[in-house]
Amino acid sequence: MPDFRFPTADSRRDFLRTLSLGVGATLLAPSAFALPPERRLGVALVGLGKYSTGQLAPALQQTKLCRLVGIATGSPAKAAKWKEQYQLADKNIYNYKNFDRIIDNPDIDVVYVVTPNALHAEFAVRAAQAGKHVMCEKPMATTVADARHMIAASKKAGKQLSIGYRLHFEPHHQELMRLGQTQAYGKINKLLSDNGFKFNNDTPWRVSKSLAGGGPLMDMGIYCLQGCLYTKGQVPLSVTAKFDQKPDNPLFREVESGMSWQLNFADGSTADCRTSYAENLSGRLRAEAANGWLELQPAFAYGGLAGQTSKTPNPLALPNINQQAAQMDDFAACILHNKPTRVPGEMGLRDVQLLLAIYRAAETGQKIPTNEVQQLIDRTQAK
Ligand code: NAD
């Protein structure tokens, strides 16, 4: 395992201190400051599916430090539609074949990869080789080798690589991180999280092992994993897991229909998580600590998040924001200010390793120590 960890409450305080010191404060506080459009970083979306169409492109109309200026798509019809809808210049519209020509395009600073999971690596590496900063959707990759390759390509280019972990920029989750990591309610003994929905095959690649890398664990369970790790502020020592019994449904020929897994932390605390493509789950994140509890539900949606704790019987009075706009403006601020992103490629790699360890635990029925994750994965991939 790399020794990469989540930013701690301390590093978060440092970040807030930076804001209050005024050094670049306006740059780092997107809500307080907007660059004129011509000075904003140019973003190109690669893969114009549901998430790009429904969330990212609209969010990029609300950002203050970056803006949508380009696209890469395999569909000429989508290219024409997006060109008109977002007033895109012809020279900023690419297909998957001529995408590498982006190297000659100074309008585009950031490439945002929003393709099926297994294709993230190809586009992230090509974008880095073209000298662009990269934002890549979750899960970062379907293999450790791909994730490593992406990190190496960005490092070689001297550009940043970030993962689309939008909830790191969301006030309810930031509060859970703060309360959990500072042990404001005492030591966290137990975490509980679930996230799942009834998949209707609207995006068939999600049940293709080769394109998605797995089923709901890769897609929805990753939020539970992330949430537990950043609330606890620790990486687990070991994992155990169990696949759900598959329903009689040909959709789940290649991937799991659902699974439950447990994370075991060094201090004896545990996290119980569950994900599914066969049933709608509540989408919650709960921490039970020595002196009380914390809970978000719904925890993982794009909006309407609500939180409660044992000490605040009323819902936490926190705003719901445009998570994707906050995520993109934070990345733009990092680039403009030459600061590392708090959700770097190394975090994506760590999570890919943990997800693969969870699969291994379910396949073998064994407790899988996470310090052996790398060895196991290397062995699997050498076969
Ligand atoms: P989608 O199927 O709606 O979009 C995928 C896009 O990739 C489509 O435009 C498709 O044409 C294109 N594509 C290119 N090559 C393809 C191929 N070989 N097979 C299939 N499609 C191909 O999926 P989506 O829901 O937009 O998800 C895209 C990525 O975004 C995934 O990695 C997913 O995990 C991630 N995502 C993240 C969030 C989030 O909240 N952070 C939400 C949704 C999706």
Distance of alpha carbon 317 from alpha carbon 69, whole angstroms: 36
pLDDT in tens, 183-218: 999 999 999 999 999 999 999 999 999 999 999 999
Task: Provide the 10 A C-beta neighbour count for residue 77.
Answer: 8
CATH number at 34-166+338-343: 3.40.50.720
Indicate if ligand 1 lies below 6 Å from the C-beta of 203. yes
In a 13 Å sphere around the CA of 70, the CA atoms on its Cβ side amount to 27
Beta bridge partner(s), residue 285: 193, 296
Indicate if ligand 1 lies below 6 Å from the C-beta of 49. yes
Domain limits, the chain? 34-166+338-343, 171-320+351-373
* CATH architecture for the domain at 171-320+351-373: 2-Layer Sandwich (3.30)
C-alpha 349 – ligand 1 centre gap (Å): 19
Which atom of ligand 1 has the smallest separation from the CA of 203? 2
Is residue 138 annotated as part of the catalytic site, yes or no? yes
pLDDT in tens, 58-111: 999 999 999 999 999 999 999 999 999 999 999 999 999 999 999 999 999 999
Indicate if ligand 1 lies below 6 Å from the C-beta of 164. yes
Helix, strand, coil in percent for the chain, rounding step 5 = 45, 20, 35
Cβ–Cβ under 8 Å, residues 230 and 180: yes
> How is residue 241 written in tokens?
């897991």
Indicate if ligand 1 lies below 6 Å from the C-beta of 131. no
Burial classification of residue 197, based on how many CB atoms lie within 10 Å of its CB (0-12 exposed, 13-18 middle, 19 or more buried): middle
Please name the residue that has the structure tokens 């990092």: 334
Per DSSP bridges, beta strands 188-196 and 270-276 are: parallel
pLDDT in tens, 25-64: 333 444 568 999 999 999 999 999 999 999 999 999 999 9
Q: Minimal CA–CA distance to 108: which of 145, 67, 136, 148?
A: 67
pLDDT in tens, 257-292: 999 999 999 999 999 999 999 999 999 999 999 999
Which atom of ligand 1 has the smallest separation from the CA of 218? 34
Indicate if ligand 1 lies below 6 Å from the C-beta of 167. no
C-alpha 41 – ligand 1 centre gap (Å): 23
Of 13-22, 219-228, 361-370, the poorest mean pLDDT is in 13-22
Is residue 156 annotated as part of the catalytic site, yes or no? no
Q: What DSSP element (H or E) covers 99?
A: none
- Considering 64, 132, 138, 232, which one is annotated as catalytic? 138
Instruction: Report the mean per-residue pLDDT for the chain.
Output: 91
Distance of alpha carbon 368 from alpha carbon 322, whole angstroms: 37
Distance of alpha carbon 218 from alpha carbon 214, whole angstroms: 6
Distance of alpha carbon 271 from alpha carbon 72, whole angstroms: 39
Q: Please report, for residues 97, 107, 353, the alpha-carbon distance to residue 331 in angstroms, rounded to integers and kept in the order given.
A: 27, 17, 24
Cβ–Cβ under 8 Å, residues 136 and 122: no
